[in-house]
Amino acid sequence: MSIQRVGFVGTGLMGLPMARNLLRAGFQVAAYNRTPLRAHPLLEEGATIAGSPREAAEGADAVITIVSDTPDVREVILGDKGVMHGAARGTVVIDMSTISPRVTKEIAGDLAARGIEMLDAPVSGGEKGAIEGTLSIMVGGSPGAVERCRPLFEAMGKRLVYCGTHGQGQMVKLCNQIAIASNLVACAEAVAFAKKAGLDPNTMIEAVGAGAAGSWVINVLGPKMASHDFAPGFMVKLQQKDLHLVAQAASEIGASVPGAMLANQLFTAVEASGGGDLGTQSLVSVYEKLAGL
């Protein structure tokens, strides 16, 4: 059965443009956000506004959730006014938040008991990717449900990678967060070092970004570090939430993640200076202080 009607729970920094891209692709969207005004921009593009996650799920073929943290996902899906109570048998619930892989499996089990399928499909690409519909999507769950939902994913992203069973999409997203955290540390250190050495950091970024050390962080966030443009594409406090998830999962599977934990400690210094709502590129400010800049 093809998917036409979509419930969408969470229209924040990422969710709003993702829902907008679904509308532009021709899907019918019923949107819910805890702060209703944040969902209202979708009205003029043809969405309806739901009064609860349960209401967003009523009559939907699929329901997408993208909210801040594990307890939030549990509440909007399993809570008294949650998606589970409005979704019919055969509905697919797609959680695109970044949360605990273990809890994802638990939620999937609760939904399966009601005949509702679940996919965990966290994303990478930030606000820019959400706006442009170029997100990278890591999905776990049944292959059949993935194929059924492929048109939804293609409206929001440019790359869909099937990672395995329930929770494996989330586990791959944590790998992504480990890698990007270390990239942020390396880039911030290089920018601060360049400034201390009397170099133009943008010249350094141009040279380094074209070589073997080039990366998305160097080429996109490096110039923002150099100019102190700390407007958030992804907030420090959300990066920290993800690094806490990394630490939790690492403890559960017996893995060591010293690079991610170094990033966590450095971001703690950003938060201690009141920078939790800044973009992750604000990490450079810690290195500049250490360098006496």
pLDDT in tens, 90-114: 999 999 999 999 999 999 999 999 9
C-beta separation of 218 from 255 below 8 A: no
Q: What is the model's pLDDT at position 77?
A: 98
Provide the pLDDT confidence category of residue 269 given band limits of 50, 70 and 90: very high
Q: What is the model's pLDDT at position 182?
A: 97
User: Per residue in 19-59, pLDDT tens?
Assistant: 999 999 999 999 999 999 999 999 999 999 999 999 999 99
Smallest Cα–Cα separation from 166: which of 119, 113, 124? 119
Distance (Å, rounded) from C-alpha 121 to C-alpha 6? 15
222: Cα within 13 Å, side-chain hemisphere:
27
Residue linked to tokens 């819910």: 32
Provide the pLDDT confidence category of residue 129 given band limits of 50, 70 and 90: very high
**Mean pLDDT throughout 224-239?**
95
Q: What is the model's pLDDT at position 233?
A: 86
Distance (Å, rounded) from C-alpha 164 to C-alpha 156? 20
Instruction: Give span(s): CATH 3.40.50.720, the chain.
Output: 5-165
Count of CB atoms within 10 A of residue 213's CB?
12
Q: Which CATH superfamily is domain 171-290 in?
A: N-(1-d-carboxylethyl)-l-norvaline Dehydrogenase; domain 2 (1.10.1040.10)
Q: Which residue has the higher pLDDT, 128 or 229?
A: 229
Distance (Å, rounded) from C-alpha 79 to C-alpha 238? 23
Catalytically active residues, by annotation: 173
- What proportion of the chain, given as a percentage, has pLDDT over 90? 97
Q: 5-165: what fold?
A: Rossmann fold (3.40.50)
How much of the chain is helix, strand and coil, in % rounded to 5?
55, 15, 30
Distance (Å, rounded) from C-alpha 124 to C-alpha 208? 23
Provide the pLDDT confidence category of residue 136 given band limits of 50, 70 and 90: very high
Q: What is the model's pLDDT at position 93?
A: 98
Residue linked to tokens 């920078």: 275
User: Of 125-129, 158-162, 285-289, which gets the smallest average pLDDT?
Assistant: 125-129
Positive or negative, the Cα torsion across 184, 187, 190, 191? negative
- What proportion of the chain, given as a percentage, has pLDDT over 70? 100
| Helix boundaries (H) for 67-100 | 70-78
pLDDT > 90? residue 1: no
Distance (Å, rounded) from C-alpha 224 to C-alpha 126? 15
* pTM, full prediction: 0.93
pLDDT, averaged across the chain: 97
Smallest Cα–Cα separation from 64: which of 20, 114, 3, 7? 7
User: Per residue in 165-188, pLDDT tens?
Assistant: 999 999 999 999 999 999 999 999
Instruction: Give span(s): CATH 1.10.1040.10, the chain.
Output: 171-290
